[in-house]
A = this chain, B = another copy of it.
Amino acid sequence: MKSAVVLVSGGLDSATVLAIAKAEGWECHALSVDYGQRHKAELHAATQIARALGAVEHRVAHVGLGLFGGSALTDASIDVPIESTGGIPITYVPARNTVFLSLALAHAEVTGSDAVFTGANAVDYSGYPDCRPEYLAAFEAMANLATKRAVEGSPIAIRAPIVRLSKADIVRRGHELGVDFALTVSCYNADAAGRACAQCDACRFRREGFATAGLPDPTRYQPGVT
């Protein structure tokens, strides 16, 4: 059985990607990254998702991206906006996907994996440069010059199976594959219990996705928000 590293954030998108990788027959090494994000409830969710979807292991890598600041997701002095402003949003974390994919690449090399799966999505996150297909292709080209394993003839594929799907299509695909979305946390402002704010971009995309897909939305919200 071929093995893959799957980046699992705790959110809806990467849970669906893990289910897709499992359905394709990969042995899945789930990897999450604690990068100093506000929404730590995601990491707890990731552990539950990895277990529920049958990953062979789940590891949490630690990297202090908060050292650099520059994003509402890692800098407590910048508020998470409740409305989109157009352009690249302040929730963009500089080079985040590059750092995450690099860590996944290291884990892929050590585990002898042939692929890294990411939940990058270019539809809802069109403002994040490191979610676009051309970026992912360039990362793959670099990765195949970067590692011992690749240089010795075993290339590593960077797989982004939902990169071009709408949120509704991701919800439908995850639903078909039996993902328990109640375990997932997408909100940028989630509380310690993983309950969502209903106002940030991530909440809005998620809610619209369930509505458009015509599927029940199991998201738990914080008291007093609707």
Residue numbers of A with Cβ under 8 A of B are 59, 61-65, 67-70, 88, 92-99, 102-103, 105-107, 109-110, 129-130, 132, 134-135, 138-139, 141-143, 145-148, 150-152
Mostly helix, strand, loop or mixed at chain A's interface?
helix
Cβ-defined partner of A88 (8 Å) among B61, B64, B96, B148: B148
Task: State whether B106 touches A99 (Cβ < 8 A).
Answer: yes
A110 and B69 CA atoms in complex are apart in Å by 7
Contacts beyond the supplied A68-B106, A98-B102, A142-B142: 11 A-B pairs with Cβ under 8 Å:
A94-B148, A95-B102, A95-B109, A99-B99, A99-B106, A102-B102, A129-B145, A130-B145, A130-B147, A138-B141, A138-B146
Task: State whether A146 touches B135 (Cβ < 8 A).
Answer: yes
Chain B neighbourhood of A96, CB < 8 A: 106
Chain B neighbourhood of A129, CB < 8 A: 145-148, 150-151
Chain B neighbourhood of A152, CB < 8 A: 88
Task: State whether A147 touches B95 (Cβ < 8 A).
Answer: yes
A87 and B20 CA atoms in complex are apart in Å by 37
Distance to closest chain B CB from A189 (angstroms): 22
Distance to closest chain B CB from A134 (angstroms): 6
Task: State whether A110 touches B68 (Cβ < 8 A).
Answer: yes
Distance to closest chain B CB from A147 (angstroms): 6
Distance to closest chain B CB from A143 (angstroms): 7
A15 and B150 CA atoms in complex are apart in Å by 30
A130 and B109 CA atoms in complex are apart in Å by 13
Task: State whether B99 touches A95 (Cβ < 8 A).
Answer: no
Residue of B nearest to A133 (CB): B145
Tell which of A59, A130, A139 has the most Cβ of chain B within 10 Å.
A139
A68 and B57 CA atoms in complex are apart in Å by 12
A99 and B110 CA atoms in complex are apart in Å by 15
